[in-house]
């Protein structure tokens, strides 16, 4: 007898990594000036991180472009050239440390042309995925054992497993308000960890199994 069951793997993970997504946006009428200011703003950010003990290699560029900006003119029914826009997005990850995050926030307030988003994630997502699938498989096996017992049979082995590729990310639902970018140390407080604790990362994975019972 073949038994087909769906196993569910659920678990909460504590974030062990902080991910900062920076976007540098500069607008100027002259191409040379917008490029110069854009490069200088990114360079200032990298120097800031180096001063805090991080390496430039930890910062990964996601996108970079310089484009014309135009505005629609209702009178002429045409788009008028208004200048250039420099956009560069970077991702920076480091081990979970709220003291370091607080230091970055305070120092980032000195930067120009920058906005950012903070995510609380996991360093080893592959290990977490494997753990969830293991939990899901054990759940499926337990169901199959119960069904075979009720049917007066003995569970022999698992014939086949199937699961969908995981296309999500392990990210805490907590978000750090970008308004903190403008706050100084007195506003944030001496210890960020006492006022901000990110939620655990809740993830679920399913697995489909075919067991043989005789």
For residue 166, what are the contacts with CB-CB under 8 A and spacing of at least 6? 129, 205
pLDDT per position as a tens digit, 79-102: 999 999 999 999 999 999 988 888
pLDDT of 77: 87
Number of Cβ within 10 Å of residue 69's Cβ equals 15
In angstroms, rounded to a whole number, what is the distance separating the alpha carbons of residues 12 and 202? 4
Is residue 79 within 8 A of residue 70, CB to CB? The reply is yes
Q: Closest Cα partner for 101 from 39, 54, 150, 41?
A: 54
In angstroms, the Cα distances linking 106 to 68, 109, 114, 181, 190 are 33, 6, 14, 7, 11
Full-prediction pTM beyond 0.85?
no
Q: Closest Cα partner for 15 from 197, 201, 193, 173?
A: 201
pLDDT of 178: 54
pLDDT of 129: 94
pLDDT per position as a tens digit, 28-45: 999 999 999 999 999 999
Residues with pLDDT less than 50, the chain: 179-187, 189
Q: Closest Cα partner for 20 from 107, 83, 146, 136?
A: 107
pLDDT of 191: 62
In angstroms, rounded to a whole number, what is the distance separating the alpha carbons of residues 173 and 78? 44
């Amino acid at each position: 007898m073949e038994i087909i069951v769906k196993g569910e793997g659920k678990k909460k993970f504590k974030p062990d990594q902080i991910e900062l997504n920076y976007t540098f946006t500069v607008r100027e009428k002259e191409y040379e000036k917008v490029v110069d200011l854009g490069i200088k703003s990114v360079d200032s950010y990298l120097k800031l991180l180096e001063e805090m003990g991080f390496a430039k290699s930890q910062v990964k560029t996601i996108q970079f472009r310089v484009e014309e900006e135009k505005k629609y003119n209702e009178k002429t029914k045409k788009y008028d050239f208004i200048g250039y826009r420099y956009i560069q997005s970077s991702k920076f990850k480091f081990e979970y440390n709220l003291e370091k995050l607080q230091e970055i926030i305070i120092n980032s307030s000195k930067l120009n042309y920058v906005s950012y988003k903070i995510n609380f994630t996991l360093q080893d997502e592959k290990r977490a995925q494997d753990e969830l699938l293991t939990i899901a498989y054990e759940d499926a096996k337990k169901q199959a054992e119960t069904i075979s017992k009720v049917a007066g049979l003995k569970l022999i082995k698992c014939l086949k497993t199937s699961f969908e590729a995981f296309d999500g990310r392990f990210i805490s639902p907590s978000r750090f308000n970008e308004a903190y970018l403008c706050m100084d140390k007195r506003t944030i407080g001496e210890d960020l960890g006492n006022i901000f604790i990110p939620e655990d990362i809740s993830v679920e994975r399913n697995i489909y199994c075919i067991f043989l019972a005789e």
